[in-house]
Amino acid sequence: MSVDLKILKEIVEKAVKRALEEARSEDLRIIAEAIKALTDYVREGFKQVDKRLSTLEGYLVAIKTDIPKIRDDIGLLRSDVSTLKADVSTLKSDVSTLKSDVSVLKSDVSTLKSDVSALKASVPRIERILENLTISIEEEARIVVDGFLREKGLEISLGSIVLDKRYEFDIYGSHNGIVIVGEAKTRASEKLIDRLVKRVERARKKWPDKFAGKVIIVLYCLKYIGDPKKAEEKGVWLIESTRELVKRPTL
């Protein structure tokens, strides 16, 4: 574009120069000047066009440079979108699993509530059974002890005694200077023997009138755990079910 303009300029200048030189009248000079002005205007126009074209070329070069970067950015964006889709899919799966777990948990809680309700309903019945069992053991203990006493020719009416809130004995009877006092347990051990002896000793000090005479401490149980010699050393008459593990102390 710049080379063509230069050639055109030279041609026009030669033509103008020739026209001016050959002009023989004022009109020809005016025409020549007009042609020159027009030529200058056209030349200036070409300069502006050339400048704008150069600017456009710069823009195109910049755009061409940015295109690979834009493509890379689009690729990264697509990768991010793909990752996001995978994450959303995983999240949906986790939510579904969580819902399933919550459903199972609700079912378990419902079952647990039902079991607790059934257990609560059973508690009074169990308490009654235990109460009846305890009463039965106490009654059985008095019957067995009474039987052993009768074998030795002793007739002592046995029952239970409550001295106060802390001192209550399942087995108690007093007759002709002989006092039988003790407890009835489903299971007994050496520690229970120690506690029974101490309780009887404290009760004798607080209520001497209830323990006047020869005191025989008896422990009746369905099962004894330990060495019966402990009871013998403490002077306790130990009975397991229907047999004497330690004989009654002599009167």
Question: pTM for this structure?
Answer: 0.50
- Cα 44 → chain centroid: 84
Mean pLDDT for the stretch of residues 241-249:
92
Tokens 């009768």 belong to 150
Second CATH level (architecture) for the domain 156-246: 3-Layer(aba) Sandwich (3.40)
Q: Comparing 40 with 148, which gets the higher pLDDT?
A: 148
Please answer whether residues 220 and 176 qualify as being in contact, where contact means their C-beta atoms are separated by less than 8 angstroms. no
Domain boundaries of the chain, sorted by first residue: 156-246
The CA R_g of the chain, rounded to the nearest whole Å, is 61
pLDDT score at 187: 96
Reply yes or no on whether the pLDDT at 133 is more than 70: no
Ordered DSSP codes for 192-238: HHHHHHHHHHHHHHH-GGGG-SEEEEEEEEEEEES-THHHHHHTEEE
User: Model confidence over 44-94: pLDDT tens digits?
Assistant: 777 887 788 778 777 777 777 878 888 887 888 888 878 888 888 888 888
Please answer whether residues 210 and 174 qualify as being in contact, where contact means their C-beta atoms are separated by less than 8 angstroms. yes
Question: Would you tell me how many other CB atoms lie within 10 Å of the CB of residue 41?
Answer: 10
Mean pLDDT over all residues of the chain? 84
Mean pLDDT for the stretch of residues 174-180:
95
Mean pLDDT for the stretch of residues 170-180:
96
Reply yes or no on whether the pLDDT at 181 is more than 80: yes
Tokens 């067995």 belong to 144
pLDDT score at 25: 62
Reply yes or no on whether the pLDDT at 41 is more than 90: no
Least confident of 11-25, 150-164, 184-198, 230-244: 11-25
d(CA 62, CA 56): 10
H or E segment at 40? helix 26-151
Please answer whether residues 174 and 157 qualify as being in contact, where contact means their C-beta atoms are separated by less than 8 angstroms. no
Least confident of 115-129, 177-191, 232-246: 115-129
Reply yes or no on whether the pLDDT at 152 is more than 70: yes
Least confident of 5-19, 125-139, 196-210, 212-226: 125-139
∠ CA(153), CA(159), CA(160), 5° rounding?
A: 140
Reply yes or no on whether the pLDDT at 129 is more than 60: no
pLDDT score at 1: 47
pLDDT score at 102: 79
Residue 34 buriedness (CB in 10 A; 0-12 / 13-18 / 19+):
exposed
Indicate the DSSP class of residue 89: H
Q: How many CA atoms lie within 13 A of 27 on its CB side?
A: 0
Please answer whether residues 188 and 151 qualify as being in contact, where contact means their C-beta atoms are separated by less than 8 angstroms. no
Percent residues over pLDDT 70 in the chain: 86
